[in-house]
Amino acid sequence: MMTLAEVKEFLDREFPQIASNGRYSVEEVNPNGARLRAAYHESQIRPGGTISGPTMMALADLSLYVAVLAAIGPVALAVTTNLNINFLRRPAPRDLISECRLLKLGNRLAVGEVSIFSEGEDEPVAHVTGTYSIPPR
């Protein structure tokens, strides 16, 4: 398993655009998942005053990617093959927190789920399931 420091170093090297704008940060990795934060920015607001769906989808996808990396090591070419999102309630205009859990980690596929919360709230604003393809070693 990769450590939090190793995951951050890998992302800084392979995906500098993630950290460069300061919007996404990895807060925790564990053998079965990860916790990330998407910093609130007014550009994420859509008409109606809520955080946009694409903002939540990006956070969920990145959360799954980080959880897979942490579990299998630095495999840059692991890719999303499926992502389903259910928007449950209107997110508050503040940071979003994702809690990702891997449900299955095989040799070729990883399946996980992500719950997304508005910071300080107990009820999720979105629930996501996704599948990643793991390239052969």
Q: What does the mean pLDDT of the chain come to?
A: 94
The CATH code of the domain that includes 74 is 3.10.129.10
Note the pTM of the prediction, 2 decimals: 0.94
pLDDT at 105 over 90: yes
Distance CA 52, CA 15 (A): 22
Q: Region 34-53: what's the mean pLDDT?
A: 91
pLDDT digit string (tens) for 66-80? 999 999 999 889 999
Range of the domain at 9: 4-133
Q: Note the pLDDT of residue 42.
A: 87
Number of domains in the chain: 1
Q: 19-23, 31-35, 99-103: lowest mean pLDDT where?
A: 19-23
Distance CA 123, CA 127 (A): 11
Residue with tokens 């994702």: 98
Q: Give the residue from 26, 28, 96, 91 showing the smallest Cα distance to 62.
A: 26
pLDDT digit string (tens) for 24-36? 999 999 999 999 9
Q: Note the pLDDT of residue 10.
A: 94
pLDDT at 87 over 90: yes
Q: Find residue 111's DSSP bridge partners.
A: 104, 131
